[in-house]
Chains A and B, each alone.
Chain A
Amino acid sequence: MSEQQGTVARPTPDPLTPVLSDTWDADRSWTLASYVDRGGYAGLRAALAQDPADVVATVKASGLRGRGGAGFPTGMKWGFLPAPDGGPRYLVVNADESEPGTCKDIPLMLASPQALVEGVAITSYAIGCDHAFIYVRGEVLHVYRRLLRAVEEAYEAGFLGKDVQGSGFDLDVTVHAGAGAYICGEETALLDSLEGRRGQPRLKPPFPAVAGLYARPTVVNNVESIASVPSIVARGADWFTSMGTERSAGFGLFSLSGHVTRPGQYEAPLGTTLRELLDLAGGMRGGKALKFWTPGGSSTPLFTDAHLDTPLDYESVAAAGSMLGTRALQLFDETTCVVRAVSRWTDFYAHESCGKCTPCREGTYWMKQVLARIEAGQGTESDLDLLLDTCDNILGRAFCALGDGATSPVTSSIELFRDEYEAHITEHRCPFDPAAAALFDYTPRPARVLTAGVH
């Protein structure tokens, strides 16, 4: 990991490094009083004592990379804003967490919304923004309640509003609820949605840094990225880079779900491995074998037990053929039918495709039909080639990353488990018992009768 770079000998961090999650077990952890008790808003005070450019420099030096999946350096993103022209510039927090398997921002905002609000205040100060927006998906009512209250408390305490902490810096924050659309996690679709339109992606360039919300310079950052900023500003870039690897610095929330003994959030330095995390989480349930997993949500190509020791940093996961994404580790054991899993993810992409571009709109629609009939034992020998050909016509040709992501589970699963697909086709049935994969006993109902997509 970091040592192999041979730069500076530094002590190995502990296996888990709670920073964001460090306040989550406090009594009424979501309140301002609790957050301040645990050292909250030290980062904002430190920031306000500096020149905004120095805050940007610190975040750049920390090497913090976007925690929403793409991994773009956060400080560099801030640096792309053009020079002030006297008009407004905006910070928009992407709190539309909805990538299948991703479940870190929502618990963070439920347990510690003030960490996000503090990060918003620091970032806004750094980039010269006086009105920031938190766009949270509408399907998490209590998280929205907590965010509204957190912002209200921060205003009351003078961390937001006019003349923040006597610094002369003004900041308003609006918490905005979405209304159910995965595509709004794409940053330009999010901006269109925030402007009161259908959430469809925009052509880039121009990038949001140049023409974002209301065509003004805008920074769009993920919740975890922004919530990581206060600790970096309070403790310094060197502290942050003492964790993680050379190019994937710092800590991150690793979200383990599925057939694991203790699913949940594990905050660890980047570059940890699934083997280490699984060990901490009590291994696979019932000692069963790991069959496949996603390193960063359903849009990242599947891994198997051959990747247990792949360091979970941006470079290593990419070198192994997938993407670190959102560190959404969905683990499936040997009882799981991979065709069923991929078929259901494809249903999701077809449902969430915004319809703007043809490859994604039509491609996901047809893949859904083909996968459904394979799963139902009604596929044909040519269906696998048809799927791969469809993926080939989506990947790189879609308007945004949704289409590309939709091909990841399909192509990777056919590559890894072609035999299993063929077994569905030649045996005309699914060889798996769905009840064996569930957490409780039940008697599966007869398979649904397909009315579309059947030969």
Chain B
Amino acid sequence: MTIDAGPATNGAPAGGPRPGYDAETTARLAADAAQIVARYPESRSALLPMLHLVQSEDGYVSRDGILFCAEQLGLTAAEVSAVATFYTQYKRHPNGTYTVGVCTNTLCAIMGGDAIFDELSDHLGVGHDETTEDGAITLERVECNAACDYAPVMMVNWEFFDNQTPGSATDVVDRLRAGEAVAPTRGAASVCSFKQMSRILAGFPDGRADEGVGAGEPTLAGLRLAREQGWTAPGTDQASTSADQASASAGGADAGGEGAPEKPVTGGEQSSAERKPTTGADVDPGGKAESPGTQPDPSKGADA
């Protein structure tokens, strides 16, 4: 399709060369776009991830990017722009390497988010949705990011920095500006760049899913208490009991029968002293690092 009109979102002079990516870039991005489109029954569903893809190329939703999406999906530039301007994660100006977002929704704001934002704003010399001169940091107020039990919360390229203070937040931005690797509290081992993040959000993983923790302390607060108190969902006891029974029967004659209702008296009925020694542990208890229950059954051949 042909697109000649449309607002210039990157300030390119009118009457210049026809806008758009060069052939090599177009081919590379088109291959990515084809993969995205293949995930959906209808191609238009690919638009949101493709706008993330465009941001991974340009660091914002550029005019070139809008035209690219329109061409790939058979939409007009106006249709693509209408979508791009609806969502706050799509940037209309070149973004910094790191988006630093401070939650200033009610709960985080009251717990200290307002103070953190003000401190960062003073420290960086920029306000909401503004970027430092070195291009490192774009500061934002962000809405609730589903981490209220870790308030006050800051996001760096949408990785969690929990339980922040003005001091911890300024330390993070200083280290980011110095080019240091900075680790979120819950997330990958270090925050990636805005462009790298955008590529992941387009559905191209970076292989870092196994980095970082599964849960922070507040996530585990109730579970830890339940473990301490022995509280479980109904029936969970039975499940673990049957598992115990299974392992007990698998263990066979658990020497001495510990855990049995009545502990045999040495030399008494059912005492191991009644039977002939069959393993080294029978004559030298504790002398070998063999765990009880895994000893081979002599009747089945000692091949362990």
Q: Which residues from chain A sit less than 8 Å from chain B, CB to CB? A: 11, 13-19, 21-22, 24-26, 28-31, 39, 88, 97-103, 105-107, 110-112, 131, 137-142, 144-146, 148-149, 152, 174-182, 193-199, 214, 235, 239, 242-243, 251, 254-259, 262-268, 280-281, 298, 328, 330, 332, 336, 340-342, 344-345, 348, 351-352, 354, 434-435, 437-440, 442, 444-445
Given contacts A196-B47, A434-B114, A14 and B231 within 8 Å (CB-CB): yes
Q: Residue-by-residue, is B198-241 near A (CB-CB < 8 Å gives 1, otherwise 0)?
A: 00111101101110101111111111111101011111100100
Is the CB–CB distance between A99 and B144 below 8 Å? yes
Given contacts A434-B110, A440-B166, A263 and B221 within 8 Å (CB-CB): yes
User: Which residues of chain A are within 8 angstroms of B186 by Cβ–Cβ distance?
Assistant: 110, 142
State whether the Cβ of B102 lies closer than 8 Å to any Cβ in chain A: no
User: Which residues of chain A are within 8 angstroms of B248 by Cβ–Cβ distance?
Assistant: none
Query: Smallest CB-CB separation from B43: which chain A residue?
Result: A196
Complex: A139 Cα to B184 Cα, angstroms: 14
Looking at the complex, which one of B82, B147, B166 makes contact with A442 (CB distance below 8 Å)?
A: B166
Complex: A92 Cα to B129 Cα, angstroms: 32
Could you list 14 examples of A-B contacts with CB < 8 Å?
A18-B232, A29-B214, A100-B106, A101-B144, A107-B147, A137-B146, A138-B158, A139-B89, A142-B187, A146-B209, A263-B221, A264-B221, A280-B222, A434-B110
Q: What's the nearest-Cβ distance from chain B to residue A12, in Å?
A: 10
Is the CB–CB distance between A198 and B83 below 8 Å? yes
Query: Smallest CB-CB separation from B73: which chain A residue?
Result: A196
Q: Residue-by-residue, is B140-184 near A (CB-CB < 8 Å gives 1, otherwise 0)?
A: 001111111111100101111001011000000000000000001
User: Which residues of chain A are within 8 angstroms of B158 by Cβ–Cβ distance?
Assistant: 138-141
Closest 7 CB pairs between A and B? A264-B221, A264-B218, A196-B47, A266-B222, A14-B231, A149-B209, A179-B87
Is the CB–CB distance between B146 and A102 below 8 Å? yes
Is the CB–CB distance between A267 and B222 below 8 Å? yes
Query: Smallest CB-CB separation from A333: which chain B residue?
Result: B110
Which among B10-18, B34-42, B250-258 touches the partner chain? Answer: B34-42
Query: Smallest CB-CB separation from A179: which chain B residue?
Result: B87
Given contacts A141-B159, A177-B49, A440-B166, A24 and B214 within 8 Å (CB-CB): yes
Q: How many contacts A-B (CB < 8 Å)?
A: 307
State whether the Cβ of B52 lies closer than 8 Å to any Cβ in chain A: yes
Is the CB–CB distance between A264 and B219 below 8 Å? yes
User: Which residues of chain A are within 8 angstroms of B200 by Cβ–Cβ distance?
Assistant: 141, 144-145
Is the CB–CB distance between A25 and B215 below 8 Å? yes
Given contacts A140-B146, A195-B45, A442 and B87 within 8 Å (CB-CB): no
Is the CB–CB distance between A257 and B151 below 8 Å? yes
Is the CB–CB distance between A181 and B39 below 8 Å? no
Is the CB–CB distance between A214 and B42 below 8 Å? yes
Complex: A180 Cα to B87 Cα, angstroms: 5
Those of B28-60 within 8 Å (CB) of chain A: 39-42, 44-49, 51-52
State whether the Cβ of B115 lies closer than 8 Å to any Cβ in chain A: yes
Complex: A17 Cα to B236 Cα, angstroms: 9
Is the CB–CB distance between B105 and A25 below 8 Å? no
Looking at the complex, which one of A131, A181, A342 makes contact with B41 (CB distance below 8 Å)?
A: A131
Complex: A444 Cα to B166 Cα, angstroms: 12
Complex: A342 Cα to B107 Cα, angstroms: 10
